[in-house]
Amino acid sequence: MCRRATTTALILGLLTLLMLPLQAKPPQKGGGKTPPPAGPGLIAFSDAELGVVALINPDGTGYTPVGLSELTYTRPSWSHAFSDGTVKLAWWDQDPVTLKTRMMVANVFPEIGTPTPVPGVEIQGIFNWTEANVDWSPSVISETGTETVRLCYTEWDWSPDGSPYTDLVVVELVYDPVSGGFVVDPDATLTINTSSARDPRFSPDGTWLAFRESGQITVAKSDGSEAPKLLIDDSDDPGSFDRQFAWSPDGTKMVFASNRNGKDDSDFDLYIASLNPNMSVQSIERLRSRNIRERAPTWSPEGAQIAYHHGGNRFGMTWQDGKIGKVVLADGDHFNLFGDRKVRYPDWSPMNLPPLP
């Protein structure tokens, strides 16, 4: 009798998981002031509470699941618009049978489509959270009319001496606007050797590729023509770490999370670095100090606001609730969009998109 009840519960639980994209309830809005009128675009994020990648409007309304993800640390990434007018979202997911970590892509504009894996873009083995991030370059149309786009991600492996390392992998995908699918060009794959690269991000024009390594932010030419060089350095503040970051829409600034003033793992604040054209730092400004573990910042399309994840416990083995907040740069005011659940890794669309119902 107990076995039958257990089996029934497992089946019902599986059916519930399969129906999540249709039945998922929106998270409750967080505390704080009432957000101002929504800016342009949409915000994608990982909702680990339900195991989905989801979208919201910048005022916290319109919660819409896009697809499932078995990975609690995956960061969804927006594409730029393709020649057929579509906009896509990419994220990592793990096949529970083969244990391969697959790159999933779904149309999100003009309508939300079914997520499908990108053939040839996968990692064999048990997932490590350092591989959870991916980023798109703008697409390019050649003289022959072929449209290509590059995806960058980190690939985790073991060195001969047994120590772990990560390489940056840049793959070139040929886009078929008829089927909406991609084919990997194996001759155009680029590997940038690093020791512990994470969070790769293309500059808005696709020329530069930034990533964080050993608590610092490094930048390299995305075609591999120049060796990586240190961009944002915290060596004058031993014990501090610069973590997740994002380029401004015009590529002249970079927002990043750092504990460089407090050196406390629970006290990450947001900073904005102004960049010179040669990819050197002109100045760094602390956005504000709030002691709420601000991370994973992302710019709005017009560059007037920044969304980010705050709160929660990322480095421990237990989960705590997190929130997604927003900063209006004109006056520095802060608003909670929603929170008090396991949400993280927001990514704001690089273009204006119609609001979700």
Task: For 6-32, give the DSSP string.
Answer: HHHHHHHHHHHHHTHHHHPPPPPP-SB
Query: CA-to-CA distance for 75 and 61, rounded, in angstroms?
Result: 20
Query: CA-to-CA distance for 83 and 149, rounded, in angstroms?
Result: 11
pLDDT band at 6 (very low <50, low <70, confident <90, very high): very low
pLDDT band at 47 (very low <50, low <70, confident <90, very high): confident
335 vs 7, higher pLDDT: 335
Q: What's residue 299's pLDDT?
A: 93
pLDDT band at 154 (very low <50, low <70, confident <90, very high): confident
pLDDT band at 20 (very low <50, low <70, confident <90, very high): very low
Enumerate residues 6+ apart whose C-beta is below 8 A from 34.
335
Examine the pLDDT at 99 and tell me if it is beyond 70: yes
Q: What's residue 198's pLDDT?
A: 80
55 vs 30, higher pLDDT: 55
Query: CA-to-CA distance for 29 and 342, rounded, in angstroms?
Result: 13
Q: What's residue 40's pLDDT?
A: 84
- Domain annotation covers residue 14: no
54 vs 334, higher pLDDT: 54
Average pLDDT score, the chain: 78
- Domain annotation covers residue 257: yes
Q: What's residue 266's pLDDT?
A: 60
Our count of domains for the chain comes to 1
- Domain annotation covers residue 356: no
168 vs 19, higher pLDDT: 168
Q: What's residue 132's pLDDT?
A: 63
- Domain annotation covers residue 109: yes
Task: Find the CATH number of the domain harbouring 214.
Answer: 2.120.10.30
Q: What's residue 39's pLDDT?
A: 62
- Domain annotation covers residue 229: yes
- Domain annotation covers residue 104: yes
Nearest to 115 by CA among 102, 124, 131: 102
**68 and 22 Cβ atoms separated by less than 8 Å:** no
Where in the sequence is the domain holding 251, given as residue range(s)? 51-348
Q: What's residue 77's pLDDT?
A: 95
Indicate the pTM of the whole model.
0.84
Q: Percent of the chain at pLDDT above 70?
A: 74
Query: CA-to-CA distance for 301 and 172, rounded, in angstroms?
Result: 25
- Domain annotation covers residue 79: yes
* Average pLDDT rounded to a whole number, residues 13-18: 30
Per-residue pLDDT reduced to its tens digit, 284-329: 998 866 666 778 899 999 998 998 887 754 433 344 567 788 787 7
Per-residue pLDDT reduced to its tens digit, 229-277: 889 876 566 667 777 899 999 999 999 988 877 655 567 888 999 999 9
